[in-house]
Amino acid sequence: MLDRTIPFYNTILKCSDYRKREIELPEGFSIVSYRSGYEKEWAKLECSIEDFGSVEEAEKYFVESYLQDPDLLTHILFALNKDNDVVGSCIAWKDRKEDKFVSSLHWLVVDEKYQGMGIGRALSTAVMNIYEENDALPVYIHTQPWSWKAILLYISLGFKLQKKDSFSHYENEYGKAMAELSKVLTKERYESLLNSSED
C-alpha cells in the first residue's frame, strides 16, 4: 500500500529520448486496449489504493476525463491475468503545456496482489512504445513522493526528474519533493535520483 503519510508535492518527470523495448509479462498475462466496461475495473483498482473515496466517484472521473475527448486520448491499456481479470492499467494522454499539447503518462496502477511481478513496468513500457512509434516524444509524468517506487521505475525507463520544467497546471515542487524522497530512500537510490535530474 502507498504510504500517504509522505507529504504530497508535485513531482515532474520527462523523457525526451526513448527507444522501443520488449514488453515482458508473467506467463499467461496480457495487455489489451480499453473496451466498454473496463471503466468499472479501473475504478475498482483506483479505489483499492485509496485514490478515490468510492468506486462510483472513480468511474465518474474516468468517464468524464478520458472518454469525452478522443482527440486527447492516445490509448488506455489494461493488464489482464490468466483469468482475464483486470489487474493493472496505464493511460497515454495529452496535456496542455502553454500553447500546445504534450504527451503524458497517466495513472499507472497495479492491483496490490500483483505488484512486484513486473506488470507496472510492462504497462509503462507499452505506453512508451506507443509514443515512440508515433514520434510523440517528449513524454511527461506528474507524480508525488509517496509514489517513490514508481519514480524509480520511470527513471529506469529513461525519464528525468525536472528541476524547473512542468506541464498542465502543475507547479513544479522539485526541491520539496526531493527533501521528502531523501527521507525514505537509501542514500544510493537518492543519489541516483539526483543524477537523473535535469534543469
Convert the pLDDT of each residue in 101-130 to its tens digit: 999 999 999 999 999 999 999 999 999 999
Mean pLDDT of the chain: 94
Say what the pLDDT of residue 73 is: 66
This prediction's pTM: 0.93
Phi, psi of 151, deg, nearest 5: -60, -45
- Position 68 confidence tier, pLDDT thresholds 50, 70, 90: confident
pLDDT for residue 36 is more than 60: yes
**Cα separation of 87 and 27, whole Å?**
14
pLDDT for residue 69 is more than 70: yes
Angstrom CA distances, 15 to 142, 158, 199, stand at 12, 6, 13
* Closest listed residue to residue 123, CA positions, set 86, 166, 170: 86
Say what the pLDDT of residue 151 is: 97
- Position 3 confidence tier, pLDDT thresholds 50, 70, 90: confident
Cβ atoms of 32 and 78 closer than 8 Å: yes
pLDDT for residue 56 is more than 90: yes
Say what the pLDDT of residue 149 is: 94
Q: List the grid coordinates of 20.
A: 522501443
Cβ atoms of 59 and 16 closer than 8 Å: no
Phi, psi of 64, deg, nearest 5: -70, -30
Say what the pLDDT of residue 72 is: 67
Task: Give the chain's domains with CATH numbers.
Answer: 11-198 (3.40.630.30)
Phi, psi of 133, deg, nearest 5: -65, -30
**Cα separation of 182 and 119, whole Å?**
26
Q: Cell numbers 513524454 label which residue?
A: 139
- In a 13 Å sphere around the CA of 14, the CA atoms on its Cβ side amount to 18
pLDDT for residue 50 is more than 80: yes
pLDDT for residue 2 is more than 80: no
pLDDT for residue 1 is more than 60: no
Q: 64 Cβ partners below 8 Å, 6+ apart?
A: none
> CA angle, 111 as apex, 106 and 116 as ends, to 5°?
95
- Position 176 confidence tier, pLDDT thresholds 50, 70, 90: very high
